Amino acid sequence: MNRFVCAIESIDYLNHDTRRVILSLPDGSARLTFKAGQYLNVVLAEKLCPFSIASPPELKGKVELHIKPTPGSDDSVEIEKLLDEATTLEIELPIGDCYVEQAPKGTLILMAASTGITQMKSIIEHLAADVISEPTYLYWGVIADSDLYLAQLCREWEKVNQNFHFIPVVSEPNTSPDWQGRTGLVPDAVLEDFSNLEEVSVIVGGSPGMVYATLDRFVERGMPEKNMSSDVFSYAPRS
C-alpha cells in the first residue's frame, strides 16, 4: 500500500448531492498500480475513510472518486469540509481483494447499491478497454430515479457493447412519479431475471446486511458461494 498527497484537480456535481472528485497523483507515483474494483482510504485527522475508485487502472496519473454526504456521519461532515476548502487530499491505496483483472468465463452479474456504482464503473471500463465478450449485467439499485447519476453513461456502454446489459432499479417509486422502469429491491430483480445461478459470477457492492442477505438468497437459488465477491467479505466478515 502507498500513501500520497494528491492535488484536487477538479470537483463537480454529478447530481443534486454526489460529487465527482478527480485527484492528480504526484510526481514519482508512476509505479502506482491498482486493480479494477479496488478502493482507497482518504486520510482524515484521526481515522481513514474508504472510497471505491471509480476510474479504471488504464487511466494513468489520476484517480476518480464519487462522494455523497452521509446523514448523521461526523466523518462525512469532515470529508465534505475538505472538499469545500482543501486543495489536496491524502490517500492510501490500493486496498481490497474484490477486483477484476480479466473477465470471468460465463455470465458476470454486477450489483451496485447507491454509490456502489463507482466500483462497478471501474470494472466495466477496465473490461471495455478490450472487448466485453461474455454476458455482463449491471444491476444498479437506488432509492429514487434522481440517484441514477451515471444512467446516461451506462446506456452508452450498452450501445457499444452488445454483451453488456444495464438494469436500473428504483426501490421507492413514490419518490419518482415519472419512473417507468423496474422497481423494488435489486436482488429481487436479479432473481426475477435468472432462474438458474449455478454458473454465474457475481460482484456485489452494498451494505453488509444487503450483501449477506443477497449471498444467502443466491446460494439458495443454486449459486456456489465461492462465485460471489464483495469487499464486505473482507471488512465485515460474518461471524
What is the rounded average pLDDT for all residues in the chain? 94
In a domain, 101, yes or no: no
- The predicted pLDDT at position 2 comes to 84
Residues 112, 91 share a domain: no
pLDDT tens per residue, range 59-74: 988 999 999 999 999 9
- The predicted pLDDT at position 32 comes to 72
Last residue in a domain, options 60, 95, 130: 95
Residue that wins the pLDDT comparison between 26 and 186: 186
Residues 176, 76 share a domain: no
Total domains in the fold of the chain: 2
In a domain, 52, yes or no: yes
Dist. CA 93–CA 53, nearest whole Å: 10
pLDDT tens per residue, range 146-184: 999 999 999 999 999 999 999 999 999 999 999 999 999
Residues 35, 130 share a domain: no
- The predicted pLDDT at position 30 comes to 61
Res. 33 pLDDT band, cuts 50 70 90:
confident
Residues 117, 77 share a domain: no
- The predicted pLDDT at position 43 comes to 95
State percent of the chain over pLDDT 90. Answer: 86
DSSP states along the chain: -EEEEEEEEEEEESSSS-EEEEEEPPTT-TT----BT-EEEEE-SS-EEEEE--S-TTSTTEEEEEE---TT-HHHHHHHHHHHH-SEEEEEEEE-S--BSSPPSS-EEEEEEGGGHHHHHHHHHHHHTS---S-EEEEEEESSGGG-TTHHHHHHHHHH-TTEEEEEEES-GGG-TT--SEES-HHHHHHHH-S--TT-EEEEES-HHHHHHHHHHHHHTT--GGGEE-THHHHS---
Residues 231, 113 share a domain: yes
- The predicted pLDDT at position 29 comes to 64
Res. 220 pLDDT band, cuts 50 70 90:
very high
Last residue in a domain, options 95, 120, 152: 95
Q: What is the mean pLDDT of residues 139-150?
A: 97
Q: What is the domain-level CATH number for residue 71?
A: 2.40.30.10
Q: What is the domain-level CATH number for residue 145?
A: 3.40.50.80
- The predicted pLDDT at position 28 comes to 64
Residues 42, 132 share a domain: no
Query: Is the pLDDT confidence value at 1 over 80?
Result: no
- The predicted pLDDT at position 213 comes to 95
- The predicted pLDDT at position 60 comes to 86
pLDDT tens per residue, range 99-138: 999 888 999 999 999 999 999 999 999 999 888 999 999 9
- The predicted pLDDT at position 141 comes to 97
Residues 138, 85 share a domain: no
Q: What is the mean pLDDT of residues 175-195?
A: 96
Residue range of the domain that includes 18: 2-95
